[in-house]
Structure 1
Amino acid sequence: MENSHKKPHAIMMPYPLQGHVIPFIHLATKLASQGFTITFVNTESIHHQIAKAQSNTIEDDIFAGARKTGLDIRYTTVSDGFPVGFDRSLNHDQFMEGVLHVFSAHVDELVGEIVRSDPPVTCMIADTFYVWPSTVAKKYNLLNVSFWTEPALVLTLYYHLDLLRKNGHFGSHDNRKDTIHYIPGVEAIETRDLMSYLQATDIWTVVHRIIYRAFDDVKRADFILCNTVQELESKTISALHQKQSIYAIGPIFPAGFTKSSVATSLWSESDCTQWLNTKPHGSVLYISFGSYAHTTKHDIVEIAHGLMLGEVNFVWVLRPDIVSSEDTEFLPIGFEDSIKDRGLIVPWCCQIEVLSHRAIGGFLTHCGWNSILESVWCGIPLICYPLLTDQFTNRKLVVDDWKIGINLHDRESITREEVAKKIDCLMSGKTSEELRSEVKKMREILEKALATDGSSEKNFNQFINDVNASM
């Protein structure tokens, strides 16, 4: 019991993408409110983007406000090996090679400095997608906690890559296309619902090499935290639990599901509230394809025409680089004139503020995991338009398993007529009512999980007890 007076001190490091930074920041705040000291580490590039986005209040320390409320969260940055001005999106593969080969040396050096601080560092909570956590944690004698920001289904598919390879569903020139029945805790999954990297023919890209290393490394973690809910993925979590200590602690939201006091956005946010206030309850379709994925000009044009054919009000988040950072003119000529006051187009917004507005009645989404959880929390059904990585697998959960959404298109390519039809189907009529009924049930599951005696809260407290016991 000699350690009972020690205060846990965690170094936290999200993967340098918007969808990973958000849950990491909310988890840091939650752990700090339970007495943890947190040293939060963003890459210099991510920090620069967040600071630039907060044009009115450029603050070198994003947790300054949180500390004023008594939370012990320190903040620092680390180089990812590239200059801040380097275009990581345009030079994606070069950047990823750096993340794979160079980044760990910068992390090692920084952790070596942080471990000398007071109170002593006890654990490192790093993103599961990193390839180095077990090496760095072992070197500095820290508990190795892996934080998985996506659903357990996606984790277990990566975790069991060896089974997919052995059975011929991944890694050969002629992969099997039949249903997969042998992944522990997964009843059945079609090959089209695997993550995009597992459907690829070239399996030695830099991202594949990162995946192989990262999901070998996670098997050496002391604990795995997962941003999901026990009741939603119970079989998958139970099967993983037989291999390692895994805690379903999701959904990781800011307290009260209001805009976070800590800046999390990599882009400056447009305020949609005034426009939404003028629209009837449940009449607006929210459209966003997330912070990272790109799509084609063809798809954007067809979606735009589909919106013109219909009569639904909409807010459409269109990042200027959604097609590419070099092609920023992608909407059909005359689109904005034809929609007049029916639509609002913004480059970025605070998603939880928009989704929780009474005027929103549906969400056309790329199926990012944060977006799905936020939409469910707000009782909003989904139209699914997955673009890459885990989004195809998340679509399976939303449409096939939970029945809280529909597919945007059933054929290979999108047509404007189908877009208009699916939007109409989501926003009104019998299907709409059925989806709303299911999403309401799922919202209740999330609420119960986060209640004092709920599964996520119990798992979160168990994790804290287990960390303290291991110190």
Structure 2
Amino acid sequence: MGKLHILMIPYPVQGHVIPFMQLAQSLAKYGFKITFAISESSHMCILNSLSGKNSLHDQIHLISVLDESESGDKNVPGSIFEAIFKVMPRKIEKLIQENNTSEVDQISCVIADLCFGWAMELAEKMRIKRATFITAAAANLLLGFNIPELIDDGIIDNDGTPAIKDRMFQFEPTMPIMNSSDLVWTSMGNLTMQKLIFDMMVHNNKAMKSADWLICNSTYDLEPGAFKLAPEIVPIGPLLFSNYLELSTLPPEAEPSISSKESPNSQAGSFLPEDFTCLNWLDQQPLCSVVYVAFGSTTIFNEAQFQELSLGLELSNKPFLWVVRTNATNAKINIFLKSFVDRIGRQKGKIVSWAPQQKVLSHPSVGCFVSHCGWNSTIEAISNGVPILCWPYFADQFMNKSYICDIWKVGLGLQKVDNEIISCGEIKDKMEHLLGNDAFKKRALKLKEMTMNSVKEGGRSRQNLINFFEWIKSS
């Protein structure tokens, strides 16, 4: 009998692809064959990062199922988003049909992103096992489940817009404090995108009923309230590349395709090449002294905010490692950045275009993390006991900030002034507070211990993951 074939469909952006790839690595080690379906642009980014390889470890095959040119006018807000939900389903259905016409190599299970409720409905129609993978916090799905109640309680209107601006609410004492103006859909900027995402979440509430499993990159200890209110969600996190090699329980007939001694230099699934010179620079810095600054793959600053951030780092007088993507700057910012680096000296600060973040956050020199609070960044920091200075921008990042600051108490938030700029003084003061108060580090280390215990032998996330793999194997 050949290897069981799994089709994985992540939402084709960096923050979703990375945890999907981490799950794919574990599946491959357990003996499954993976087809990893993404959009053309995401596919090309990963290929460039992998130096042109179209597969990983001979068991994870990358394919493109959507050309962004099919989205029509890319300048129209939401056009690519709509293409993903209108064009991609037809492509995926055709892909499954073509694979399953023969007796060999049939796709036996679909693992799709939470965003893709249509994939669960399609797999159900085609009588294929199906699982939804929640790459964000479990609280994210719970928010979607509670949309009808939020409407009934007068917190949001029927179209998802806030009925009362800045209305605060909380589903359970261990869950984030939410703001009606900063929900996943209400914080997306333009009204077109807000409506598209709200409608998607409403539809997904129905589609989730088609899923056999709802798995989540989280742990019971991180989100006890969410898992109590929605016990159908099964945590399997934290999914980190350092963890997938630890999954030693293999089916008797499987031959491990990934060596237990293997330690890939680059993070599979990364859209950008990682600069490993920053690790050598970190080796030269004192213990817990470095401020790591990174805002994910999409955040872009204007010139004024960029300068305030750089001045805040300079005023703090702390060594820093700052990720500044080349596609996030312009000519003026580049000129300012060069003079800034020349002024402070390269020993005091290092700037890279992309960093091996999981390796950086596990480095003993890193003392705190200035972050946009994406869920991947959040769970990576938590897994390494690193306090977080929170700078959220959109979607679930505000929810994650509340977890960090209000519930886990392992970080601080930054406050904007009237002109929507976070000042250099605010950055300096909060940075010093976070690094100077041992209570944040102690709580972060305690949370790290609880979180990482979940993936060790006997841990609940580890057992959930093995149970999930065994379910896929079962007839």
Same fold (TM > 0.5):
yes
Match of 1:51 in 2: 47
Match of 1:384 in 2: 390
| 1:208-227 matched pairs, under 5 angstroms | 208-227=198-217
CA RMSD of aligned residues (A): 2.9
Match of 1:438 in 2: 443
Unaligned runs of 5+ in 2: 245-262
Is the 8 Å Cα contact of residues 369 and 381 (structure 2) preserved in structure 1? yes
1:320 is the counterpart of 2:306:
no
| 1:32-181 matched pairs, under 5 angstroms | 32-54=28-50, 57-61=51-55, 63=56, 66-67=57-58, 73-83=59-69, 93-116=78-101, 118-170=104-156, 171-172=160-161, 174-175=163-164, 177-181=166-170
Greater mean alpha carbon deviation, residues 346-355 or residues 407-416? 407-416
Distance 1:293 1:112, change over 3 A: farther
Distance 1:262 1:112, change over 3 A: farther
Distance 2:178 2:162 in 1: 18
Corresponding residue SS for 1:290: coil
Greater mean alpha carbon deviation, residues 333-342 or residues 350-359? 333-342
Is the 8 Å Cα contact of residues 26 and 254 (structure 1) preserved in structure 2? yes
AA matched with 2:200 = I
Is the 8 Å Cα contact of residues 154 and 195 (structure 1) preserved in structure 2? no
| 1:167-206 matched pairs, under 5 angstroms | 167-170=153-156, 171-172=160-161, 174-175=163-164, 177-181=166-170, 183=171, 189-191=177-179, 194-199=182-187, 202=191, 205-206=195-196
Is the 8 Å Cα contact of residues 162 and 181 (structure 2) preserved in structure 1? no
Distance 1:328 1:205 in 2: 34
Give the CA deviation at 1:219. 3.1
% identity of equivalent residues: 28
AA matched with 1:252 = L
Is the 8 Å Cα contact of residues 383 and 448 (structure 2) preserved in structure 1? yes
| 1:387-398 matched pairs, under 5 angstroms | 387-398=393-404
Deviations 1:246-276 (A, max 9, x none): 2110001114586576632111222212222
Is the 8 Å Cα contact of residues 266 and 356 (structure 2) preserved in structure 1? no
Give the CA deviation at 1:396. 0.4
Distance 1:259 1:374 in 2: 18
Give the CA deviation at 1:185. 8.3
Match of 1:70 in 2: none
Q: Select 1:424's aligned residue among 408, 411, 432.
A: 432
Match of 1:455 in 2: 460
Corresponding residue SS for 1:452: coil
Distance 1:275 1:184, change over 3 A: closer
Distance 1:422 1:255 in 2: 31
AA matched with 2:451 = L
Distance 2:391 2:180 in 1: 14
Is the 8 Å Cα contact of residues 81 and 103 (structure 1) preserved in structure 2? no
AA matched with 2:199 = R
Match of 1:413 in 2: 421
Give the CA deviation at 1:159. 2.1
Q: TM-score when scaled to structure 2?
A: 0.86
Is the 8 Å Cα contact of residues 18 and 266 (structure 1) preserved in structure 2? yes
Distance 1:452 1:363 in 2: 29
Corresponding residue SS for 2:463: helix
Distance 2:274 2:412 in 1: 28
Give the CA deviation at 1:167. 1.6
Is the 8 Å Cα contact of residues 112 and 120 (structure 2) preserved in structure 1? no
AA matched with 1:197 = W
Q: Select 1:309's aligned residue among 305, 309, 315.
A: 315
Unaligned runs of 5+ in 1: 68-72
1:247 is the counterpart of 2:234:
yes
AA matched with 1:414 = I
Is the 8 Å Cα contact of residues 14 and 20 (structure 1) preserved in structure 2? yes
Corresponding residue SS for 2:168: coil
Give the CA deviation at 1:315. 0.8
Q: TM-score when scaled to structure 1?
A: 0.86
Distance 1:187 1:379 in 2: 20
Distance 1:91 1:346, change over 3 A: farther
Greater mean alpha carbon deviation, residues 306-315 or residues 126-135? 126-135
Deviations 1:272-312 (A, max 9, x none): 12222222222111100001233433322211111122201
Number of equivalent positions? 447
Distance 1:150 1:53, change over 3 A: same
Distance 1:457 1:220 in 2: 25
Is the 8 Å Cα contact of residues 175 and 407 (structure 2) preserved in structure 1? no
Greater mean alpha carbon deviation, residues 415-424 or residues 164-173? 164-173
